[in-house]
Structures are given as C-alpha cells and as structure tokens.
Structure 1
Amino acid sequence: MRQRLILGVPRMTYLGEGWDSRAELVDGRWVDRRPRRREIGPQLRRETVVMPWLAPQLPLPVPVPVVVSEEPLVVRHELVPGAELASLNAVQGRQLGEFLLALHAVDVAEAVARGVGPRPLPVERFRAEVRVPGGEELLAGVSGLPADTLVHGDLGPEHVLGADGVLTGVIDFGDLHVGDRAADLAWALHATPPEFAAAVAGTYGVTHELRERALLWHQLGPWHEVLYGNDIGDPRVAAEGLAGVRERLRIGVSEADA
C-alpha cells in the first residue's frame, strides 16, 4: 500500500539527544530542540538572543534558533550542513583556528548584555564525587585561570561538522560563556591527529602557556561526565567518566615527563 504524505503535516525525524536537549529534523531542513529538563529552558532561550548577533561574526555556519513554541518550549534553527568528522586534516585545522580567532575576538561586553556570563566550576561537587590521585592538583590548576573571553565551552568532535575534507559548521552553543580561551583549544590540541593540532596551533598562534592551560581543561572534561552520570542516576555513565578522568590525568603526567 502506497504511503501518502498529508499536506501541512511536517515530516519529523528523531536526531538524538544530548545532556540538555533532544532534537528532531523537520522536513529535512529544520532542527527542533526541546529541553530535557525544565532548568534548560532559559539556556535555549538565551541562544535565540545571542546567536543572531554572534553568527555574522563567525567564518563558519552555526545554529541561529528562534522560539517556535512556548509551552512546551521548542526552538528551531536551520540544519547546519555536514556531519561529525570521520577524519581530521590540516585544512580543517586551519579552519578551526580561524573560527576560534573570530569567536574569541568577539566583544565580551556585548555578549554579557545579551545574557552570557561566566560559568563557575562545581569545585565542591568535584571534590566530593571525583576522588582520584592528582585531582586536587588539577582543581588548583584551573581555579586561577582567566575568564575574559567568549568561549564555545564544549568544543569537541561531535560539535564540529564537515564534508569533503573541509569544515562546514559548528553546533551546540548551549555552554557558551565568558571563560578561558584555552578551554576551546583543549580537544583540538590534545585529542586530535598531529597535522590537525599543528594547523590549529599555527593559525591561532598558540603559545606554550596557552597549550598548558588547554591541557588542564582537557583533563577536566570527563569530570563533568561523572557528575552528569550521578545526576541522572546512571552508574555506567559515571564509571565511564571516572575512567576518562584517570586516563587524562595519566596523559598529563606522561606529557610532563616528555
């Protein structure tokens, strides 16, 4: 029996969900996002204020959402082209370096006026829930780092899109905040192939001090996964985060020895 498309009814395809929101593709063109928890609502609304201002200042496509439903809250943006990268090359590294230079040059005062602020680290929860050798030293290392730059806040392989060997967009600006520029370099410098990392560093102008700060943020990344697993009551997620904490702390020790 042939399936008929009812006029006026959008075609919805489930895309997946992250820690904060779930997404659907609408008519092959639009992405609808819904908060997974009530406290995420203000974060999605903030994106509808900040991203229309920020997007024209960036050299790669990014989501520019608008509110399409108040209750339940739904924000919609045009689908950013590309897919999660299967491989990384120097061309893409230069593109990401240029993207970060543009993002980090944005006027912080203008961002603050649109509701973007600092994001304090949950240090006490880290101490209580992530107890590992070397943990206190890491927390002390990140506690005094600068917070003077607009940063993406969650830049990793799942949020950098590409096609045909080039970058095509950057997504998921829910963690956008005023923080340390080195946080956006953590994955790019310390978890990617050498040719990609070198191209990012050369384009951005990474110094030795900035690279060391980026390593601290790279080591801290899985700590958030432990807390998230505890929050949702999933011991498997928390255990995976804890394994990542230990592994990245070992990487830091080996790099220091080198």
Structure 2
Amino acid sequence: MTSLPSLTSFSEGWDSEARLVEGRWVERRPRRPEVARQLHTEVRLLPWLAPQLPLPVPAPTVTCTEPLLVRHELVPGEALTTPDVAQARRLGGFLCALHAADPAEAVRRGTPPAERVREQRTAMVAEFDSRVLPLLPAERRESAAALLAEVAALPAHTLVHGDLGPEHILTRDGELTGVIDFGDVHIGDPAIDLAWALNGTPPAFADALATAYAASPQLRQRALVWHQLGPWHEVTHGLDLDDAEIVRGGVDGILDRLDDGT
C-alpha cells in the first residue's frame, strides 16, 4: 500500500493557503482571483530571475490549473531576527542583483509595469489623504501631507521585491539562506526595498548594507520616505476591520516615523 505524502500546513496567509509536502515542497493555492494572477506572474518571473540572484528564491511551477495549485522547492531557514554586518553585505549584494534585472523582460513575464504602479500609487495616496490624514492631530497634518506628496512623486523604473522585511529574509546558523514572498513584486522605486534595511535595523547593519549597495544620499532619503509610509497601511487595515486598537497603533507609528524624518 502506497503511503500518503507527509503534509504540514503553514500559518494561515491572507493571500494563499500553503502547505509543506514531504518536507521539501511548498504548495500554494490562491484565496482570491487577484492572487491567482499574482501566482501566475511568479511562475513566469521567478524561474527566470532566480539564476541571476546570489541567494535562493522560490521558483514555482504550476502543478494543477483548475483549481490553481503551484509548487516550489522549500527555501530553508528561519526569519531574520538578529541582523549583523555580514548579513547586511550579503543582502546588499542580493539587492544589487535584483535591481539590475531587466525590467522590460520582467514586464513581459507578467510583472506589474511602471504605468500601473503609478496609477495604484496615486489611488493609495488619495485613500491615505481621505481616510488617514484626518485621524492625525491637526498640528501634524501639514508634515504628513508633505510626506504623501513625496510618495506620489517617487520614481518607478526598477524590478523590486516590494515587501522586503525580516520575515521574508531567511537565515540558518547566522548565514542568509534565501529571500521569499514575491507577491508584491513590481516595477517601482528601488528605495522601497531599502526602507526596512536602512531604517528599521541597527546602525551598523544599515551602514554596511548602504555601502554594499552603494546607496546615494538621495536613495537613502527615498528609503526613509517609504519607511515613514509603512504605518499608514496599518491604519487603513484597522479601519477595514473596524479594529480601533490597530488604528491607534498605526496612528502612533505614523507620528513616530514622521519624527524620524525631522
């Protein structure tokens, strides 16, 4: 009698259901139609992109079309918790390679193009202006509105991960082992991938990564803008859930990060 494959469910994700099969394969099913489109993009993009990068990334393939099921080999490791200088240099090299990838070819493989990204960014800024700005203290709204104006004017010309934080950077025994979760990949501002790395990490890590990446002062300033924008998403998420605690935490985060820019 053939034994059934060993299955392990991951924590419930908002976009996809995921499970580990036989300790080696990650299988993902989309929860919503737009996520299916995203997974198809990953199937077309990541196998092309992976050989260009100095760290492993998922390279999914379609194993079933109806309903959609994609599979990729597990990228080993645990989320980064104690970033150090050696890891910063390695991550800086990874980002250099990622941002050097051909954006035109990435768009041909389904990556959201710059024009669509700018449209979505305009809509995002308008939502933040109407839903979040009125929740801030009156004396802070001018600086907050100036931040939104900066976001609206940011460039979009480079293939970016789009959601690069410690939970998506994997390590084992102190070494970086891979980068995961490319669901927000798009043609955008390379500074978005530096937001956490330069502003949410110890100074030694941030300086080492900036050196490895050769980040200009202008790029570092744009990374700060993206970092300051992060809690605005938390506020709208809380509003959508009608969760006052999440909203309060997001507002506090906005005010704290605005102070970081003064």
Do the structures match in fold with TM over 0.5? Answer: yes
Deviations 1:42-100 (A, max 9, x none): 01111001001111110000001112232332221111011012211111000000000
Structure-2 change in CA distance of 1:58 and 1:73 (3 Å):
same
- The alignment partner of 1:109 has SS state of helix
Question: Aligned residue for 1:156?
Answer: 165
| 2:213 maps to 1:204 | yes
- Alpha-carbon shift at residue 14 of structure 1 (Å): 1.6
- Alpha-carbon shift at residue 208 of structure 1 (Å): 1.1
Amino acid at match of 2:72: H
Question: Aligned residue for 2:19?
Answer: 24
Separation in 2 of the partners of 1:227 and 1:46?
Answer: 26
Separation in 2 of the partners of 1:233 and 1:16?
Answer: 23
Map 1:157-172 to 2 at 5 A: 157-172=166-181
Structure-2 change in CA distance of 1:112 and 1:40 (3 Å):
same
Question: Aligned residue for 2:126?
Answer: 124
Deviations 1:136-162 (A, max 9, x none): 111101111111110100000100011
Question: Aligned residue for 2:94?
Answer: 99
What is the CA RMSD across the aligned residues, in angstroms? 1.7
- Residue segments in structure 1 that go unaligned for 5+ positions in a row: 1-5, 254-258
Q: Which of 45, 52, 55 in structure 2 is aligned with 1:57?
A: 52
Per mean C-alpha deviation after superposition, the further-off stretch among 43-52 and 25-34 is: 25-34
| 2:236 maps to 1:227 | yes
- Residue segments in structure 2 that go unaligned for 5+ positions in a row: none
Percent of aligned pairs sharing the same letter? 56
Separation in 2 of the partners of 1:74 and 1:201?
Answer: 38
Question: Aligned residue for 1:256?
Answer: none
- Alpha-carbon shift at residue 191 of structure 1 (Å): 0.4
- Alpha-carbon shift at residue 18 of structure 1 (Å): 3.6
How many residues align? The count is 248
Question: Aligned residue for 2:153?
Answer: 144
Structure-2 change in CA distance of 1:240 and 1:44 (3 Å):
farther
Per mean C-alpha deviation after superposition, the further-off stretch among 226-235 and 45-54 is: 226-235
Structure-2 change in CA distance of 1:228 and 1:45 (3 Å):
farther
- Alpha-carbon shift at residue 194 of structure 1 (Å): 1.6
Given the two structures, how large is their TM-score scaled by the length of structure 2?
0.89
Structure-2 change in CA distance of 1:23 and 1:235 (3 Å):
farther
| 2:187 maps to 1:175 | no
Separation in 1 of the partners of 2:92 and 2:28?
Answer: 28
Structure-2 change in CA distance of 1:109 and 1:23 (3 Å):
same
